[in-house]
Amino acid sequence: MFNSNHYIPILKWKRGEQRALQELPNSIKDKFTPLIEIVPVPYDFVNDTPAKTIDQHLANIGEQIRDSWLPKKPLFIDLCWLDEDDRMEDGSHPIYFIMNEVRKKKCLAIPVIGYERDDDYKCEVKDAIKEDGLGVCIRLEDEDFLDIDSRLNSLMEYLEVIQSQVDILIDLKEISPDDEKKNILTIISIINSIPHVNEWRSITLAFTTFPETLSAVSADSTGVIPRSEWKIWKELINRKKSIKRIPAFSDYVIANPLYNEIDPRLMRMSANIRYTTNDDYLIFKGKAIKKNGWKQVCSISEKLINHPLYCGKDFSWGDSYIYICATEKCSTGNAETWRKVGTNHHITFIVNQLASFSEV
């Protein structure tokens, strides 16, 4: 399906991420394939109840994908965060509903599955494979790495697919920047243990060092988080003689793999801009939003555009927004706005970074 220079960002499907994709030019979209994770129904903490029904939560999924992505280019869809008992009002499974809505909008989606998914989920994915003919993505994680061969064989036998119809996603989630050498050896071992490693449609490695919170970065400062995932992927290329197949690159963009919805009454959010560079994430952090508001991002943006690693206002939509915010003091937006800005910059940056590598 794609080579090892292709990029697969894993995105929590919220408005900031959706709109970050919308703002990307087709020339960038052509060079990556997003994996979108459908987030849970939002919770109303005041009334201690879900804020929506599952039908309301998923009502516009077809339009969202159509408006964010390319009509003839598939993306991956995973419902890993939904409760396995969630059902639509008519009794249908959410993945059935989503795949059907995507088809109605004449878009293409490849379902993501894992060995531990429940039987109903597996059944719906099997039906989608038969109807769409686009194959499937098998997500390997946690216990899967202890018995890859038998788990893959079991899933493929149930789904009635062959290797050329399957994209393999090796998902290591969050890794420690202190264990790069250990992680490299572990990854090589995992990839080399995959049966018939060169017969799969694609093999992708997903991981990140992005933390769950930014509490380690002080207010009114610039923090640095190493992008160990990028350093490790580059090292795999250097060691390609000892690895049976170089994987495509995947990360969690500017977020941690975990998904936690926090009661907004208890949140202590500070204004911040997450900015991806060659080897690090730069965190430009301000003060608490509740006391200081979002206006402070103007001065944070000014600090960023004067940083030597700023890519320039023409690099991406996100970089242009940062420049305008710094120089013209435009609408400062909110947390969703700055997730959109950082995500848009990050995807553009990684696509360009991968393009600098020749075919491996």
**Residue 17 domain flag:** yes
Q: Nearest Cα to 3, choosing from 191, 135, 198?
A: 198
**Residue 102 domain flag:** yes
Q: Domain total for the chain?
A: 1
> Residue 246 corresponds to which tokens in the numbers above?
């170089």
User: Residue 95 and residue 56: Cα distance in Å, rounded?
Assistant: 15
User: Residue 12 and residue 207: Cα distance in Å, rounded?
Assistant: 15
Q: Tell me the whole-structure pTM to 2 decimals.
A: 0.96
Q: What is the pLDDT of residue 266?
A: 65
- Reported as half-sphere exposure (CB side, CA atoms, 13 A), residue 357 has a value of 21
**Residue 259 domain flag:** yes
Q: What is the pLDDT of residue 328?
A: 80
**Residue 2 domain flag:** no
Residue 153's contacts (CB-CB under 8 Å, 6 or more residues apart) are 195
**Residue 184 domain flag:** yes
**Residue 282 domain flag:** no
**Residue 156 domain flag:** yes
Q: What is the pLDDT of residue 293?
A: 87
pLDDT (mean) for 182-207: 95
User: Are the CB atoms for 286 and 67 separated by under 8 Å?
Assistant: no
pLDDT, tens digit (0-9, with 9 covering 90-100), for 258-282: 998 776 666 678 899 999 999 999 9
**Residue 84 domain flag:** yes
Q: What is the pLDDT of residue 263?
A: 65
102-to-14, 159, 344 alpha-carbon distances in Å? 17, 21, 23
pLDDT of residue 58 exceeding 70, the answer is yes
> Residue 110 corresponds to which tokens in the numbers above?
């490849």
User: Residue 285 and residue 272: Cα distance in Å, rounded?
Assistant: 4
Residue ranges making up the domain that contains 193:
7-213+225-265
Measured in degrees and rounded to the nearest 5, phi and psi for residue 183 equal: -65, -40
CATH number reported for the structural domain that contains residue 102 in this entry: 3.20.20
pLDDT (mean) for 125-151: 96
**7, containing H or E segment:** strand 7-12
pLDDT of residue 336 exceeding 60, the answer is yes
Is 94 strand, coil or helix?
A: helix
